[in-house]
Structure 1
Amino acid sequence: MEFIRDFRNINKNQAALAGGKGASLGEMTQASIPVPPGFVILSTAFERLIEKTDLDVEIDAILDSVNHKEIHTTEKAAEKIQALIMGAEMPADIANEVQAYFKELDAKWVAVRSSATAEDSSTAAWAGQLESYLNTTEGSLLENVKKCWASLFTPRAIFYRFEKELHKQKISVAVVVQKMVESEVSGIAFSVHPVTQDRNQLIIEAGFGLGEAIVSGQITPDSYVVEKKPRQIIDKNVFVQARGLYRAAGGGNEWRDIPKEIGERQVLTDEEIMELAEIVLKIEKHYGFPVDIEWAREKNTFFIVQSRPITTLGQTKATEGKRDLVKEYGLNRSTWTYKGLHGVLHTFFPLGRLTGFAMIGFFGDGARITLFFVKDNYIHWYWNDNELTRIREVFFDRLKKNKNYLKELEAEWMNKVGDFEKILKRVDAVDLSLLQDEELASLYDDFYKKYIDEYKYFMTLGDAISMHADRYLVPEFQKILGREFTAVFPKLIVPQYLSFIEEESREREKLAHIIREKGSVDWRALEEHANRFFYIHNNYAKGIYLAAADFEKMIQEDIEKNVESAKDTRKQQLIEKQQLIKKYNLSSWHLTLLYVMDEFFKLQDTRKKYVLISSYYQFKFLKEAERRSGVNFNLLQYSIYLEFRDVLKGTIDTEMLVERQKICMCVHVGDSFKIIYGADAERAFEFFQKDVGDQKELKGMIASTGKVRGRVKKILKIHDMANMEEGDILVSSMTRPEMVPAMKLAAAIVTDEGGVTSHAAIVSRELHIPCIIGTKNATSVLKDGDIVEVDADKGVIKILEQK
């Protein structure tokens, strides 16, 4: 039986033996495309191991126990199967042949990559589920081969197998062993622009060092767009690279600083860009379909280390005309959801990025593209409505098949919350000023990893469920409530749980009551209150720690102003909710929808709580970075966490931060991103703002019913509250706890964003004033002093007089 083949003896039709990756490398080698030499340990070798050790029956039995909707079953199955494979002894004849082929390569270092026999097609991207081991030496070769075999059964690979309904197919794995290129520069390329899907354009990304730094998003590469006909470079984005990933002398990889005079250069010359473009087009022509490739350059020679079909192209026509950001990223005001909130680049960057790729493990492809602008410490966030709809549909489909799905997802998330709490305690336990630079950077890395792990579970899904209730919840209840919908629906969606905002407010009112009664401050109780709610006034642009003295001051101000305690009407509201459920004899499906809304109110509330807590810790790290680097704290708010080491080393480009602070546009496409500033960002921003002033009527979702007329007062920052007068219409992107005094003066509330369980919705119902949420652009259309009619019985705001 044949176990190994050289690349020169493999073609594209032999994926069953060599896997998709191996077949592709063999095919390119035969087509005289520059590929580093190597060989493939065929799938027959893996199958021989399984059969000889009698593992096939055990593996099938373990996989039969998997329910991929229940995450823990995939993890347990993966652990068992991988232990079986790693514990099995590689047959001697296979081991000897692998070592013999390795010696023929005459390479000190090789890349060892998994190559599944059910790998990439135009609709499934399996390769990303398996593992690769770079800079492998002869001593670690056999062990890494076994690791590649075992990677066929990682949790994500098992999940992918079931999610794509491949679990009934025979899937095996080959292993590619390829000579490592000593990359001076490297990168990726797409023979069709993956964002614009313009088939007359290809795009190349390039960085100094190993390409893994680009793939993992740890550096921002240069990007070059090449037009195919006529063949010409039509766009170049050159970024300063302060460090690169290189092979370490003792094996593995290491980060090295790049001298400024090199890091500022264009990574590839124009001639090299055109040379690489020709290779990319040759590969595309040979295969007959669009491809994405990974490439490296050593001693003035380009090498292709991987090629696969582009799996994300739709059946869209190529765009024409000169490139601009609006066209490049498919920007369309009518099909994009808007969310506005206070924030800076540093705190919001990872969350905008999560919308792009963190949901992949749960809901397929994730939101393919999201973007946000930062201007005047304000986030203007956009993503495609269709993505939220798709994610919501996937969620409900799974919930229908498994009634415990949400509970299981929540339990998994709470484990991540526990991990995040642990890293917060680690940060609290140390004095940041005493850490060495690398210790500080490593701690920040750990913080961000746990933060992202915690945040990703309900980031996009939460918005799809809570913010877009009008897309699925409203129509369902309109059918059964008929004309009574407007009066009854807000009462049915009253949440079972108190938000942390309500909890803090009620607890503070109790403390105020004690002070009024006793005439003295209970400092112990205030300390406990501060420990629980220190973050309550934070947002994406503010990260402070409110101490007991701060809360005491707030309470004293309320007492001096004779602010009355809000009446606790929740108990009565919940009683009325249950009465209405019985009155209308709601079906099990309608009860499920209400249950989902209740649970997501609690989950979203917890998520928001940790966002506010995180802001405090992020600003804490930035203030320490300011102390060490001398870079102004306000500027550092426009760096991203991936640049933290550059800040500490003093290599961050402060002029770039200044430009970002004026306006920047951050685009996330899948797991890659670009930060654009200057005139290009201004033009794209103006595109979204265009024509908003021409609107005479706005629509949103009803949060609390009623109809009033009044003068618009926009509250975008806390100091705007000073001009709020009783009877004004409060207009904001979203409301926050510190706005409650102004909300109590308002005749009605209108917000850009928010769901039926948002802060604005809850408080307006408590105050019994009209509220319309989710208008998308009320803060852009309405101006201070405009006279408007808020008809929260119909969800319409009419502009009667413009200032």
Structure 2
Amino acid sequence: MTNLVIPMEGIREEHMDIIGGKAYSLHRLLENGFRVPAYFCVTTDAYNKFLDCSGLKGKLIIEFARKDFSKMRWEEMWDAGLRIRNMFMNTPIPAALVDTINSQVPKDFLKRAVVVRSSAPGEDSSKTSFAGLHESYVNVAGMEEILESIKLVWASLWSDAAILYRQELGLDIEHSSMAVMVQEMIEGNVSGIVFSTDPNNANKLTIEAIHGLNKGLVEGDVEPDRWQLDKFSGSIVQHIVPSSRDRIVSLSEKGTLMGSIPQLLSHKTPLTTDEVKQIYEMAISSEKIFGLPQDMEWTIINNELYTLQSRPITNAQNNEKQWYISLKRTFENLKQLRNRIEQDLIPAMISEANALSGLNLHKLNNVELATEISRRQGIYQKWDEIYTREFIPFAHGMRLFGQVYNDVIKPQDPYEFVDLLADSKLLSVQRNEQLRQMAELIRNNTALRRKVENGILEGKFKELFDNFMDNFGRSPYVTEENDIIRLILEFGFAPVSIGANSKDVKKREMDFLSNFKDEEREWASQLLDLGRASYRLRDDDNIYLGRIEGQYLSSLREGKIRLAERGIRYEIENSEVIAALFNDSYIPPVKPIQENALLKQKATDRQIQGQPAGKGSVTGIARVINENTDLFNIHAGEILVCDSIDPNMTFVIPLAGGIVERRGGMLIHGAIIAREYGIPCVTGIPDAISIIKSGDEVTVDGNLGIVVIHRH
């Protein structure tokens, strides 16, 4: 009979490939006398049988054929992971497979709370460590919940972080499989981790401990006490006390709960000296068994030390994997990040941009201007790094909400959750509303339109225009008043309204929240609020960053104007602008023009598969955006074709009949703003701006993710 389930006592060495590294490591420790919670394994045979019997394997093959993983950006990878997860959750485990698993599961496991953990082949081996990349589910009870959690663990094989990490290591992504370990739930009084060799110092061993369950520690939500020991003698070198012991993770009716720690425990060190010694001896013994330094999770209950898992410490664990783990953020972590962004970072960005805008560049001599350009470049680079480090990870707020929404609602459309998030008031939409108001003034007023066309601004129009330029007039794309006036005149031909996405938002919100018990509903409501903030800031933060970039580009533009007066009218690097301003006799080299081979492609009809990002279908004339100034040439109803859209250029979106982007993903800026306006949008079209030419007739099918180029 196929090994679908193997109990702890039935594991043999030949089972390693079908139970995975995590389960087999516990088997080795058990053989050597370690205290391990009882467990059984659902093997990779069960995973593969599920794919074959349910028809899911064919759907995965179609998904893999969409686009080569190696050519996907992280947003596209997350979209793929979301779609696959939704497939798993909407695919029932066939009854025959359920019966087989049921018959092989040790019956005493159905009477207790368990932890459902991943144990993929190759996971936690001597060469790779997937710690933190696959899912685990705590406090699961009953066969129905166990089977549901098993499906979620199977699906976590296809998370964006796991796919990216496998790709980085050159592993076979499409033929990966997953085993699952179902382990007795031990509600320890104290839990923690131990590194038998400190990753930063081979002569030390490090122990981290917290009161309560380990989840708060491994997810980074609870600060631990930390002990560093001499690896060879076991003597304590240092005990680092956390800034506060104020939070604890404990079991709730379903899952776990983060709460305030009892006052008595807040002043109590989690471990005694004897317990530190006991954990030290456990770690050293484990390292001897496996022949490699170990990263172990443990818990203590009733003075008994349990080993929960043990995995090798690898170079991969300490280097490239950390970026992929940063794609996973916990709810508590995201709330803290939101506060930092909204209360500290955004006000600081606004203040810095305002300070830069107050300087009159025309009054600076060339050397002063060169110094100012260099200073502004440094300021922009500083904020760009902060954006990458702080703002991009906050995008996980909408991803986390989407994951929870899909797990609870199980919609056929994996992106249905976005309609709930789109209830936010985006800064780019507020900006476009100001453009619309000015366009309304001239739409039915021929005399005013003629004045505006001739550069005469007065009355209410001038008031609105000045307000717009004060708020949005310095960005990488909005720099010249004449460009904005030309855009407003074009808006006058195209009545614009926000899409009707919000009409049933309240009902969907109620439907979502009604799936949670009373004690969980407040958390679900907070998660929705967090998702909306993440969605809004995903768009708004670029506009704030764009104001700083705009001030940097304004100084560059002033420098180029001065160089043009010296006859330097060709395109040069930014560093050359600074050098030429410092030295009046310096002549920057001319950059050679490189021919793009893609421009030689034969013009023929063709259909291109991308990713659906904005519902609807439209046919129109393409307007390809190759550089910033092309934005102001778009006419109402044209198909906007670009490499990627950032929020600083979305002021033209209301004019577009449809959108085509090279960059892929449902949560990129172009897709977000397209949904706000109800505009058909397809993303993830490779070489879009090279394949499609301005003037081509193009059909954009945002329902199927198809772009058709009609050439006659």
TM-score (normalised: structure 2): 0.48
| TM-score calculated relative to the size of structure 1 | 0.43
